[in-house]
Chains A and B, each alone.
Chain A
Amino acid sequence: MYKRMLFSVVVAMITILLVGGPGLAQVLNIAIPQDPDSFDPVKTVAAATGEVAFNIYEGLVKATPQGEVEGALATHWTINDTGTVYTFYLREAFFHDGTPVTLDDVVSALNRARDPKIAVRAGELSMIKDVHPIETGVQIELHEPNGAFIYTLAEVYASIYPAHALDLARRPVGTGPYQLQEWVPNQGLELRRFDQHWSGKIPYFEQANFMIIPDENSMVLNLKAGRVNLIPRLEVAVLHQVENDPNLVILSSPMNLVQVFSINNARPPFDDLRVRKALALGTNREEILHGAAWGRGTLLDSALSPSMASFYNDSLHEVYPYDPQRAKELLEEAGQEDLQLVLTLPANYPLHVQAGELVAEQWKALGIQVDLQIVEWGTWLERVYTQRDYDVSVIGLAGRLDPHAILVRYTTGNSRNFFNFSNTRYDELIRLGLKTVGSERREVYLEAQEILAQELPGVFIMDPPQIAAMTRGVQGFKNYPTYVVDVASLYK
């Protein structure tokens, strides 16, 4: 009797070992601060969606860590002599629901993305004249040559999904290496490896969980406790908590984000260039770099991040160097010795709030009365970004792959131009930038940046550091110039 019991126990244990052992899934837990808003590629505006969706959706092309584009659902593409017709050749690929990717899917997805009645960013694809299928692929016709076009196809809104998909907002169907399994709003997202990915490569992690943790201190605690394996974007304010931990690996690189004190150019007295100049001359950016980013960021002088090396204008340091004396004189000249301003700060970004607190003290030294107003993110979007009802604010503008997408927001009348900046020559240059190529295009953007540095839609501060923190053993982390986390490249 006793022997038989022992025997069955041993059998049970062996069974558990055999069945349970290999079945242990490789799981990666990633902490991100904000919830995605929607997984419908043409409806989303939240950066968090792009971050997660990068693993779920693919376009005809996709971004590389170097800031270039490479073929994704298209194996390759050709451009005609006039630069107005792009022909994309499709590869054989499957959606997460098992159906093959067809020409119809590609055409309908791209047409939906440029339909202003449906897509929130339809304007960014307005250079497209027509999309039509040909025998081996898809032809996209442009109104005129456009150097930025190919990069727009790597954005989330140009993702390809089945024409028959019904509820993309909550149930995304893409072709990426991972598919969405479950989404509990404000808590987390569970992604499962998609084994039929066209590349034939099977990512190491079978499951990836994006956990929504808004507080940076809790993120770090979770990382140290092993409940989180990767924080792709760590707030620099908590860096010191992880820096010397032998169980963690920290990777730091430029973020391709431009931190800028935006000035409402349309509101007096800030419509007076002398006042804007005074603010620029009175800003000690070194101190902000050290005080808010622990000296880890890169100072910059224009609306492009130095990480866009081929277009960045690096000769602008001396346009308005820190000179509080000169700043005071300018305020006097402009008759603004008693200037009062409200500095609106977005509460959920400690980096920007701290930069704001520092600059407030610097401007006070010029005799300006600075009132700080810390507002929630929703209020910030509403008041500063949409209604443009503010004096001065501070924000980080996320980088794109192509300079046009970044610089176009400073053109007169642009919907994202919450600076209310307007300069005729600048508008001309931005139009010109699309029609030129090579070194000529570079010259155009160098001059455009010079105008921004001199005319001051705002005071450009730094490209903050992008710090990724992960538990030792997680490898293959790739830093992109866009706001994404590439789960498929990670392994242990």
Chain B
Amino acid sequence: MDTRRWGMILIGLIVALTILGYIYTPYDPNEVRVMERFESPGRDHLLGTDHFGRDVLSRILVGGRISLLIGIAAVALGSAVGTLLGLLAGFRGGLWEEFLMRTSTALQAFPSILLALLFATIWEPGVQVVLWSITFGNIPYFLRLTRNQVLSIRKRPYVEAARALGARDRGIMLRHIIPNLKDALLIQFTVSLAGAILVEASLSYLGVGIQPPAASWGRMLREAQGYASLAPWGVLAPGLFIAVTVLGFNLLGDTWIFRREDVLKRE
């Protein structure tokens, strides 16, 4: 099979399982049964139970939705804002560009985790901390990417030609630049999604992200780590799902890169 398909397959699988989580879970993911704690994976519990006797598989199924939804929402927001600002910087130049680029450099120097810890002290730990830190963390990447693309596309002969024929800025932007940005943005989008999944997991692991009893993969890792020697499945299951999702998004990004190269070659 074409190795480029793997990204699609993995992400498809994760999304399908997450959707399944809305319809069916083997157990109530938050139901506590202390006497059934740390049951190893078997017929009753496919992925075993955790320290409160909760079914790990059920929690994995519902835990994914938070990772995916927050990831997609935050990256979408970050990319939208970043792209708009990037267009502004690329087109206007001058002080605007100077200001936006310096700000984004400063923001980029800030690791997402630190940003999140800052947010967590301003607000209560929770979903909004994760959402905003991923959003803000992503703006500079999209800003920079868009601005660089705009600068390079602007110099291309067909854009110069359009301008010579009297096309206005807006027309050039809509007709020539944005369509050419699409591939680069899509690639960055998948890479950012992979990063977002990791950031969400790390923040929940650190305790400033998703709050209990809600299940998220990062939170599950945190809760299970103390019992890793006793019930390794508690750590392995969410860890595996995080890894597969991140891998899936990265492969998906690769697929876009390959496809773009194919197109360029054909041209």
Name A362's closest neighbour in chain B (CB-CB): B32
Name A287's closest neighbour in chain B (CB-CB): B34
A241→B30 CA distance, assembly (Å) = 26
Q: Is B227 part of the contact surface with A, judged by Cβ < 8 Å?
A: yes
The answer, among A238, A358, A361, A373, for a CB contact under 8 Å with B226, is A238
Number of residues of chain A lying within 8 A (CB) of chain B: 21
Q: Which residues of chain B come closer than 8 Å to A360, judged between CB atoms?
A: 213
Q: Check B213 against A361 for contact (C-beta < 8 Å).
A: yes
Q: Which 8 A-B pairs have the closest CB atoms?
A: A291-B34, A361-B32, A290-B34, A287-B34, A240-B230, A237-B226, A357-B212, A372-B212
Which residues of A346-365 are within 8 A (CB) of B?
347, 350, 353-354, 357-358, 360-361
Q: Is A374 part of the contact surface with B, judged by Cβ < 8 Å?
A: yes
Q: Check A347 against B207 for contact (C-beta < 8 Å).
A: yes
Q: Check A240 against B227 for contact (C-beta < 8 Å).
A: yes
Looking at chain B's contact residues, the main secondary structure is: loop
Which residues of A230-250 are within 8 A (CB) of B?
237-238, 240-241
Q: Check A373 against B225 for contact (C-beta < 8 Å).
A: no
Q: Is B52 part of the contact surface with A, judged by Cβ < 8 Å?
A: yes
Given A240-B230, A357-B52, A372-B213, list of 19 further CB < 8 A pairs?
A237-B51, A237-B226, A237-B227, A238-B226, A240-B229, A241-B229, A241-B230, A287-B32, A291-B32, A291-B37, A291-B51, A353-B212, A354-B52, A357-B32, A357-B213, A358-B52, A360-B213, A361-B30, A373-B211
Q: Is A217 part of the contact surface with B, judged by Cβ < 8 Å?
A: yes
Chain B 197-220: CB-based contact to A (< 8 A → 1; otherwise 0): 000000000010001110000000
Q: Is B124 part of the contact surface with A, judged by Cβ < 8 Å?
A: yes
Closest-CB distance, A285 to chain B (whole angstroms): 12
Q: Is A216 part of the contact surface with B, judged by Cβ < 8 Å?
A: yes
A290-B35 CB under 8 A given contacts A374-B125, A374-B207: yes
Chain B 31-61: CB-based contact to A (< 8 A → 1; otherwise 0): 1101101000000000000011100000000
Q: Check B124 against A358 for contact (C-beta < 8 Å).
A: no
Number of residues of chain B lying within 8 A (CB) of chain A: 20
Closest-CB distance, B258 to chain A (whole angstroms): 43
Q: Check A291 against B52 for contact (C-beta < 8 Å).
A: yes
Q: List 23 A-B contacts (CB under 8 A).
A: A237-B51, A237-B226, A237-B227, A238-B226, A240-B227, A241-B229, A290-B35, A291-B34, A291-B37, A291-B53, A347-B207, A350-B226, A353-B212, A357-B213, A358-B52, A372-B212, A372-B213, A373-B124, A373-B211, A374-B125, A374-B207, A374-B211, A374-B212
Q: Which residues of chain B come closer than 8 Å to A354, judged between CB atoms?
A: 51-52
The answer, among B34, B35, B211, for a CB contact under 8 Å with A372, is B211
Q: Check A217 against B226 for contact (C-beta < 8 Å).
A: yes
Looking at chain A's contact residues, the main secondary structure is: helix
A358→B35 CA distance, assembly (Å) = 13
Name A238's closest neighbour in chain B (CB-CB): B226
Closest-CB distance, B149 to chain A (whole angstroms): 43
A56→B37 CA distance, assembly (Å) = 44
A374→B129 CA distance, assembly (Å) = 14
A372→B125 CA distance, assembly (Å) = 11
Q: Which residues of chain B come closer than 8 Å to A237, judged between CB atoms?
A: 51, 226-227
Closest-CB distance, A27 to chain B (whole angstroms): 29
Name B230's closest neighbour in chain A (CB-CB): A240
Closest-CB distance, B210 to chain A (whole angstroms): 11
Q: Which residues of chain B come closer than 8 Å to A216, judged between CB atoms?
A: 226
Name B207's closest neighbour in chain A (CB-CB): A347
A237→B37 CA distance, assembly (Å) = 13
Which residues of B209-267 are within 8 A (CB) of A?
211-213, 225-227, 229-230
A483→B177 CA distance, assembly (Å) = 69
Name B30's closest neighbour in chain A (CB-CB): A361
Closest-CB distance, A102 to chain B (whole angstroms): 49
Chain A 391-404: CB-based contact to B (< 8 A → 1; otherwise 0): 00000000000000
Chain A 358-392: CB-based contact to B (< 8 A → 1; otherwise 0): 10110000000000111100000000000000000
Closest-CB distance, A287 to chain B (whole angstroms): 5
Closest-CB distance, A310 to chain B (whole angstroms): 33
Q: Check B230 against A358 for contact (C-beta < 8 Å).
A: no
A287→B31 CA distance, assembly (Å) = 13
Chain B 121-159: CB-based contact to A (< 8 A → 1; otherwise 0): 000110000000000000000000000000000000000
A217→B235 CA distance, assembly (Å) = 15
Name B124's closest neighbour in chain A (CB-CB): A373
Q: Which residues of chain B come closer than 8 Å to A353, judged between CB atoms?
A: 212
A438→B212 CA distance, assembly (Å) = 48
Q: Which residues of chain B come closer than 8 Å to A287, judged between CB atoms?
A: 32, 34
Name A364's closest neighbour in chain B (CB-CB): B30
Chain A 403-422: CB-based contact to B (< 8 A → 1; otherwise 0): 00000000000000000000
Q: Interface centre among A291, A350, A360, by most B CB within 10 Å?
A: A291
Q: Which residues of chain B come closer than 8 Å to A372, judged between CB atoms?
A: 211-213
Name A289's closest neighbour in chain B (CB-CB): B34
A353→B51 CA distance, assembly (Å) = 13
Name A217's closest neighbour in chain B (CB-CB): B226
Q: Which residues of chain A come closer than 8 Å to B227, judged between CB atoms?
A: 237, 240
A372→B30 CA distance, assembly (Å) = 13
Closest-CB distance, A441 to chain B (whole angstroms): 39
A338→B30 CA distance, assembly (Å) = 20
Q: Which residues of chain A come closer than 8 Å to B226, judged between CB atoms?
A: 216-217, 237-238, 350
Q: Which residues of chain A come closer than 8 Å to B225, judged between CB atoms?
A: 217
